[in-house]
Chain A
Amino acid sequence: MSERAAPTRPSWFRDADYELAAVQIERLRPESPWRKARERLGRRASVRWSLRFLVFLALLSFLAPLLPLPSPAAITVAAEPAPPVAPWSAFGDHKFVAEYWELNPLDRALVSLRTSLFGKWRTGPWLGTDALGRDVLARVVWGSRTSLLVALCAALTSLVIGATWGALAGLVGGRLDNLLMRIVDVLFAVPTIFIVIFTLSFLDTPKNAVGQAPLLSREQVFFLVVGAVSWLSMARVVRGQVLELKRSAFVEAARIAGASTPWILRVHVLPNVLGLVIVNLTLTLPSVILYEAFLSFLGLGVEPPKVSWGLRAAEGAEALNPLESYVWLIAAPAVAMALTLFALQTLGDGLRDAFGVEERSER
């Protein structure tokens, strides 16, 4: 087992410089990047807190049906959006109505568990209600499910297509590389809205009868649509990294020492590329969430009654006006989105430092 040699530390090096120097040295010895990464990840407080927040958020959204929140789809046709009421004034009441959109079996089980645990009790309007009487807190929490799921699935789609594309191009090189990258260039130059509209219409298969379930639900269509426009930068980044690794010193050294190609791939190339891919994934999620918000602004997003942060933000954006600002309608999803994206960015930065990956853009 190799030991990390502690470099002597000059007096004018600050902590972060030292860290950086250590990172540089580490890159020459990639045997166990995972262990190093985990160590380095835990070093900064902001990264730790981001991780904790994200885990908490993931749990919260997964367990959303279990929480004693009001139903996010139950409409009481009120006249005006109601402002938030502090928890100590209205902690809860007993008017819960189990009204949801189509839920999958696991969610249904969670809902029935909730009803048996809490009965008809539900939390009060801690974040206010919107114009149709729906609780904003419930919609934000349930919206996190859609947003995170969309983000994850879209990112994974972009990963599958993009990383394969880029790795193939980088590894094979030559003519195939040229062709594949030119296709990426071309797709970059086509305005994304064309691709979105085309994919939406292509996947929105017609039905022939009332009640017939479409092949793909609108949400699934959305995953594919957003994934289809996000894989391009992943491809470029992966290709760049693979190319650099191909040319790098330790691969040369390994080759000279007589190592076989599969071994080089497994030990040197793959861990480094995976590191980059994970980092990029964490950093693609925010842009996917923002793009989903943009599509919701245009009206091409998730369908009601399902809710996502983007949809809530778009609905709430109209609320920002000088006459009467229903601030809570926009503040809640905006803050939720901001916190999550912030945590994702910080985590991504931490991962990047941990894996010793350069801050690289798409070229």
Chain B
Amino acid sequence: MLRFLARRAAWFALTTWVVITLAFVLLRAAPGGPFSNERKLHPSVEAALREQYHLDWPLWKQYLQTLGPLNLDERGWLGDGAEPFGGLLAGDFGPSMQHRDVSVNDVLASSLPISITLGSLALALALVLGLSAGVASAHSPGSKLDQLVRALATSGLVLPNFVLASLLVLVFAFWIPVLPVAGFGTPRHLVLPSIALALPFAAYIARLSRAGLLETLSKDYIRTARAKGASRARILWRHALRGALAPVVSYLGPAAAGVLTGSLVIERIFAIPGAGTHFIASALNRDYTLAMGVTVVYAVLVFGFNTLVDVAYTLLDPRLDLEQEA
């Protein structure tokens, strides 16, 4: 296990570095910059601003400065006095080019916990809904219940999420005014956004768990248990659930990273100050520093969850060998 984790850590470092480089190249290659505006700045002002944020340096130098850990700026970072270290490797994401008086660390520190809160709730909800739906329909495959549950589960996947969110707001905040319209602060504010966020995932989990359950149910050892006289329900809960979980877990890995970093649509409609907005907005506004920060966070989450999933997979299926898997 330790060797596996060590090897994983090495790969993680390498792939994160490649992700950072790729994101850097993609962003700089897109036209427009962070300071372009309808009201164009005077050329000397724009030149001064660009110099401030090192946008006048050659690209390779900007890249090294972004990466760190050495601070290549003799003047120090937006102030007087130089600090020897900076950049991503030193944990310093720099000032946000869009919010000129706030640092990227501050932006992420204030928005990520909110997204993670909402995302965790949505994931939990999705798991509960999805697994119960999957179990219910695998309990009696082909029956009316199965078909109904499958239809419901699919319906979570057929509407764009902004339509779903708007519908939820209309129904539960205006027609039946039980929940707040938008905002963030109390547990009641979390209900509608987490439902909107959870539904597509719940639908997919329902399908996956149903298929996994059916697959497991046809295995030999289930038949043995059956032959020994165990009831169908007992078989489902005790033995087959493990089989159901395998595809769910491997799906959840990458999906969890996406859920936890938030969704722009949900955050915009429900006015939640999460990180999902920053993912899209930083790219659309060419806020290079914030975009790099967001990329790093996302890459860390994706790789972290992938590793978790691999570890969980081996716990679920002892036949798999982690060494071989890596």
Contact, chains A and B (beta carbon distance below 8 A): yes
The residue from A190, A286, A317 contacting B162, defined by CB atoms under 8 A apart: A317
Q: Is the CB of A341 within 8 A of B170?
A: no
The residues in A between 327 and 363 inclusive whose CB is less than 8 angstroms from any CB of B are 330, 334, 337-339, 341-342, 345-346, 349, 358-363
The residues in B between 111 and 129 inclusive whose CB is less than 8 angstroms from any CB of A are none
Q: Is the CB of A191 within 8 A of B279?
A: yes
Q: Taking the complex as formed, is A218 at the interface, i.e. its CB lies under 8 A from any CB of chain B?
A: no
Q: What residues make up the interface of B, taking CB atoms closer than 8 Å to A?
A: 11, 15-16, 18-19, 22-23, 26-27, 29-31, 140-143, 146-147, 150-151, 154-155, 157-163, 166-167, 169-170, 174, 207-208, 210-212, 214-215, 217-218, 226, 247, 250-251, 253-254, 264-265, 279-280, 283-284, 291, 294-295, 298-299, 302-303, 306, 309
A232 CB to nearest chain B CB (Å): 10
Q: Is the CB of A297 within 8 A of B162?
A: yes
- 14 A-B contacts, Cβ less than 8 Å apart? A17-B218, A21-B218, A186-B19, A191-B23, A191-B283, A191-B294, A202-B29, A290-B157, A317-B163, A321-B170, A334-B163, A359-B207, A359-B211, A361-B247
Given A342-B158, A363-B250; A182-B15 close (CB under 8 Å): yes
B195 CB to nearest chain A CB (Å): 16
Mask of A177-220 contacts with B, CB within 8 angstroms, 1/0? 00000100111111101110110011000000000000000000
Q: Is the CB of B155 within 8 A of A342?
A: yes
A312 CB to nearest chain B CB (Å): 11
A334 CB to nearest chain B CB (Å): 5
Note all chain B residues with C-beta closer than 8 A to A190: 19, 22-23, 26, 295, 299
Note all chain A residues with C-beta closer than 8 A to B143: 14
Q: Which residue of chain A has its CB nearest to the CB of B177?
A: A322
Q: Which residue of chain A has its CB nearest to the CB of B299?
A: A189
B313 CB to nearest chain A CB (Å): 8
Q: Is the CB of B158 within 8 A of A361?
A: no
Q: How long is the Cα–Cα vector from A16 to B163 in the complex, in angstroms?
A: 35
Q: Is the CB of A201 within 8 A of B30?
A: yes
Note all chain B residues with C-beta closer than 8 A to A337: 158-160
Q: Which are the 9 A-B pairs with shortest beta-carbon distances?
A: A359-B211, A16-B142, A16-B141, A341-B158, A361-B251, A293-B160, A320-B166, A189-B299, A338-B158
Note all chain A residues with C-beta closer than 8 A to B26: 190, 194-195, 197-198
Q: What residues make up the interface of A, taking CB atoms closer than 8 Å to B?
A: 12, 14-17, 19-21, 24, 46, 182, 185-191, 193-195, 197-198, 201-202, 286, 290, 293-294, 297-298, 310, 313-314, 316-317, 320-322, 325, 330, 334, 337-339, 341-342, 345-346, 349, 358-363
Note all chain B residues with C-beta closer than 8 A to A46: 147
Note all chain A residues with C-beta closer than 8 A to B23: 190-191, 194
